[in-house]
């Protein structure tokens, strides 16, 4: 696996974050993760756990399925 799923997931997170007009730092605060983690996630450098994905959906105000159907 070349990590392309991480890159696509990160792009989707960034898309939703930008749509609601918040910074990576604000999303990190809403999710209870470190601000640098969101940047690494959006660049596809991190592979989030299901627990982290749940936090991200809460922070973005979307359903989990939305992150995978975009």
Alpha-carbon gap, residue 53 to 56, rounded angstroms: 5
Residue 15 predicted with pLDDT over 80? yes
- Judged against a pLDDT cut of 80, whether residue 36 lies above it is answered with yes
**Both structure tokens of 26:** 């604000």
> What pLDDT shows up at residue 2?
61
Mean pLDDT of the chain: 94
Burial of 2 (0-12, 13-18, 19+ CB in 10 A): exposed
Mean pLDDT of 6-10: 95
Show Cβ contacts of residue 17 under 8 Å, excluding neighbours closer than 6 positions. Answer: 23, 24, 27, 38, 42, 60
């Amino acid at each position: 696996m070349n990590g392309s799923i991480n890159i696509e997931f990160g792009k989707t997170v960034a898309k939703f974050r930008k749509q609601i007009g918040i910074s990576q730092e604000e999303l990190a605060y809403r999710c209870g993760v470190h601000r640098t983690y969101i940047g690494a996630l959006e660049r596809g450098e991190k592979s989030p756990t299901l627990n982290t994905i749940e936090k991200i959906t809460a922070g973005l105000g979307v359903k989990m399925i939305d992150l995978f159907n975009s």
